[in-house]
Structure 1
Amino acid sequence: MTNKDQVVEDAFWVVSPEGKLPPELRHSTPAAAVAVAEGMARDNPGVKFYVLVPTAAREASGMVQTEITAPKGGRHG
């Protein structure tokens, strides 16, 4: 793998409902993601919404390696 196949992105957070479709939006702070998760939980009683921060990703277009930088102040912001 060469350096051109490696990408570095800033940390971001996503909200994922348990057992449902994958997340679609990126949030720039954990607080923003938590606020969205709380609103979605209120609108969908009984469904658990996780706030997640990815640590890595892989894309099979020549196997691009993406490393996600840790949020400032540790894993949870």
Structure 2
Amino acid sequence: MKKTALTTLIMFLFISSSLPAQIDANQDYIKAMSTSNASQKVNLLKEYLAKYAGKGTQYENFVYASLCVLNYQSKTTRETIE
């Protein structure tokens, strides 16, 4: 019984420790996508990738897709391909 309670407590603490980071990532994504100015949106999306790329965030693939589809002045062919 004690082992089950201890295991449950450890699992709960492990899972809950990753939640604040995910909440920050979600807020940054929502902030970027709710911006109407295209150049500001691109900057915020690039900042999102700089912070959270490769960390398995929920919206990482959507950020890449948005940057690919958005037309902005400083966009290079290499950025489109990546």
TM-score, with structure 2 as normaliser: 0.26
Higher share in strand: 1
TM-score, with structure 1 as normaliser: 0.27
Higher share in helix: 2
Higher relative CO (Cα under 8 Å, sequence separation at least 6) belongs to 1
User: Which structure is larger by alpha-carbon Rg, 1 or 2?
Assistant: 2
